[in-house]
Amino acid sequence: MKTARKITLTEEERRTLKVWLRLPTSTRLALRVKIVLAAADGRTNQEIASRLRASPKTVSLWRRRFLKGRLAAIEKEAPRSGRKSKASQKMVRLILQKTRKERPANATRWTTRSLAKELGISPSMVQRVWKANGLTPRAN
């Protein structure tokens, strides 16, 4: 069986990790911190996984990432794979332009459904663009 590389923390790293545990942060970050602290205390990946109810693969992943990039590697989410947004910049500009500068023919304001129908796109795309730009149906 392979043994995991030992993690040795500086006092500053240990203090930072303990502060992160007390902050109302994401549960993902809290799990990462607990993994690193347990690994630094000499626990095996199996022990950590059992104690934290995580998979050994997850424990191994975060141990390796910490060793490679220290605190910065576990603080931020890594880019995830998956489908890229279909909302091209051109479509985003069109949604914002119509929302801000034009009015629908039969109403005083656009709704996500009416604008989506006008542009031939999904209402959820309109909603995502509005949310990203701080717009609401009542304030457009």
Each residue's pLDDT tens digit, 46-84:
889 889 898 889 888 888 888 888 888 787 766 667 776
pLDDT digits (tens, 9 = 90+) for 79-123: 667 776 666 888 898 999 999 888 888 888 899 999 999 999 999
- Stated pTM of the model: 0.53
Cα dihedral: 11, 12, 17, 18 (round 10):
70
List of E strands, 45-90: none
